[in-house]
Amino acid sequence: MSYVVGIDGGGTETVAAIANEDGRILAKATAGPVNPNALQKEELSQTLSELMQDLKKQSGIRFEQISSLFAGISGAGNDSAVRMLKEMLHELVHHDTNVQVEPDTVNALYSGTFGGPGIVQISGTGSITFGINDGGKRDRSGGWGYLFGDEGSGYDIGRAGIVAALKSFDGRGRDTMMLDMIRGHFHTESPYDLIQHIYASQSPKSHISPVAKLVFAAYKHGDYKATEILTKAVQELSCSIRALESKLFSPEERVSVILCGGVFADREILPALLEAELHDDQQLTIINPEMEPIGGSIIGAFLMENKQLKETMIQHMISTC
């Protein structure tokens, strides 16, 4: 029997798993980030080595029988990064193992389309819209980073929440419960202390993005400004999805839109608002995937071997991930 390995490499955490031919996950390991744009080559190599050693320890002799490895890695968007990652991974598995490296957006897409075409809207700390059509053509929309984009992301929503709170404090904007919520979140009464805390941080994004949860909570309480912020976020996300739809798909095609990322965790908020925003486009079907992105990378490994995915395999991946 042969086995496959999938890797879902993000900007904060990396997950790897080994599966058998039935799609059952037999071993799973986690490690730190592996984004080649954010790490030195030595750090990257060390993290991948630790990850694969952990997987090997759990799976035993089966590790030597891996036929294909599919790695979806954040930041693997250029040829040099892909080449470097492939070389590193080849050194960590049996020499006969086939290795493929793709951006992690592919994992996220496959977690909802099970290897088929479609669009994935990823919105976590950042945001990007990515798609693959039936002919294999790929494209993206957004994803330009927090300085020039990331609309509809946790950072974008959190920043807007802080701006609304500060305007309320100044008397320049409508009152919002988010002002007191943000004070409590940062354990400060003074917005001046809040701003000093964020500006002095080495990673302001990491402090701003969690504020999105406060915006969601305020929205559930009917806060006007929170509703305004989320309405704008949904408009931005729908615009990006529609732009990619027109680039990749013909008007008669049905298109699955996979929602992936932390801002979609509460399905009653952004997923529901986005579905309502896009309801007039009968071409689009919104999907909140049951499978984790690591399952999408396992599917990628099976596709490398031209295996037909059966419903039982998909259910095994969902239940054992």
- Degrees, nearest 5: CA angle 15-290-212: 75
User: What is the maximum alpha-carbon separation in the chain?
Assistant: 68
Please tell me if the domain spanning 3-114+291-320 has the same topology as the one spanning 116-289. yes
- At 1 the three-state DSSP class reads coil
Ranges of each domain in the chain:
3-114+291-320, 116-289
Q: With respect to CATH, is domain 3-114+291-320 assigned 3.30.420.40? A: yes
The predicted pLDDT at position 95 comes to 85
Contact, 36 vs 85, CB < 8 A? yes
Per-residue pLDDT of the chain (321 residues; tens, 9 = 90+): 789 999 998 777 899 999 999 999 999 999 988 888 777 888 888 999 999 999 999 988 888 899 999 999 988 878 888 899 999 999 998 888 999 999 999 999 999 999 999 999 999 888 999 999 999 999 999 988 888 888 999 999 999 999 999 999 999 989 999 999 999 999 988 888 888 888 888 888 888 999 999 999 999 999 999 999 999 999 999 999 999 999 999 998 999 999 998 899 999 999 999 999 999 998 999 999 999 999 999 999 999 988 888 899 899 889 887
Q: What is the pLDDT of residue 48?
A: 92
Q: What is the pLDDT of residue 41?
A: 85
Alpha-carbon distance of 224 to 241, in angstroms, equals 26
If we measure between CA atoms, which residue out of 293, 256, 291 comes closest to residue 108? 293
Q: What are phi and psi of 189, to 5 degrees?
A: -90, -30
> Which residues, in sequence order, are CB contacts of 112 under 8 Å at separation 6+?
118, 120, 256, 258, 259, 260, 287, 289, 291, 296
Whether the Cβ atoms of residue 39 and residue 87 lie closer than 8 Å to each other: no
For position 79, what pLDDT does the model report? 84
CATH topology of domain 116-289: Nucleotidyltransferase; domain 5 (3.30.420)
Give the tokens for residue 60: 């035993």
Partner residues linked to 14 by β-bridges:
9, 31
Contact 67, 4 (CB under 8 A): yes
Q: What pLDDT is stored for residue 143 in this prediction?
A: 84
Nearest CA to 224 out of 286, 151, 167, 282 is that of 167
